[in-house]
Structure 1
Amino acid sequence: MRKTWIHYFLLALFLLSAVPAVQAETRIGFVNISLVLKKAPQADAARQKLENEFAPRDEKIVAMQKKLKQLEEELARDADIMSDEVRKKKERQIVLEKREIERTREEFNEDLNIRRNDELNRLQKLVYDTIVTLAKDKNYDLVVGDNVIYAAESVDLSEQVLERLNAQYKPNPGNAQN
């Protein structure tokens, strides 16, 4: 019987000592990462930078497609009056143009994807660093990102992160990430 009372006493002592730890305020915040990545001025700058960088190559592909269409129209229009040799030459030229367009388009898409991933990685790093700085400045113990089922507005730090990103952003045509 005496051992039982000692066990109860030790249990009560343990529970009482744990109460202050339970009552300590834990600051938890949430950031909607996809919203921040979408609305950050650095994201718009990165998109614009990619558009400017790849516009000439895209225009080249469009010009190649117009040329191909012209060749196909010529062949369709004049096939009946062309000699077999001229017609076959035109058909080979069309096949070669199609291959060249396809190769150019594939290179374009590969290069664009690589550059887009580079810019996205830079932006994600900037957002991560901004969130960590905000969390430390405001004494948050835990900040969670996407894959949250519910977050009250009182713990949503997304707007504060966007405010900091806006404050950090200085438009510069030669540099999309600041």
Structure 2
Amino acid sequence: MSEQQLNPLALRMLAWACLWSPLAENDEHQAAWEVLQLPGDFEDVRVDYWNAFHAGVPQPPVPALFHALLQREGNAVREDLMRAADYLELEWSDKRLPPDHVGPACEIFGLAIEREEPVLIDGLRERYLRPWSRQAQTLLASHPGLLALLERFEADVAAAPVPET
């Protein structure tokens, strides 16, 4: 009896979810960095990463919240992503981020890939993940280390197949 293997791209999206999470520890970020085979070490970009995506008043230069970066109505975005999570029967732990944060969205996207949900894959990619990545790349054009990170992220998002219905 052989065990079913998980989709490698779905697993990569879970690593991205960890990398984008401000709740993860530095060693977890480094482990995700290695799984994603990103160049160098997380430590090389750690300060720039935190300053770009998580630190700032009233918000960081590149908010990890879709509604903030994409200038959309927050309740609608959160509701849309919560519907997707509910459809996939995704359960959250006590330690969680807002549903319109790129981290949980990567978890939802990864599960949609694993379950071959074409509507969710396409919708999440085109409405949230790709626009967020492109806007973030525009804002970080002068930061080559972070720009390379975002380009790799967008390549993984683009690689998700839309299974035929």
Q: Is TM > 0.5 for Structure 1 vs Structure 2?
A: no
- Report the TM-score when normalising by structure 1: 0.26
Higher helix share: 1
- Report the TM-score when normalising by structure 2: 0.27
- Greater RCO, CA 8 A, separation 6+: 1
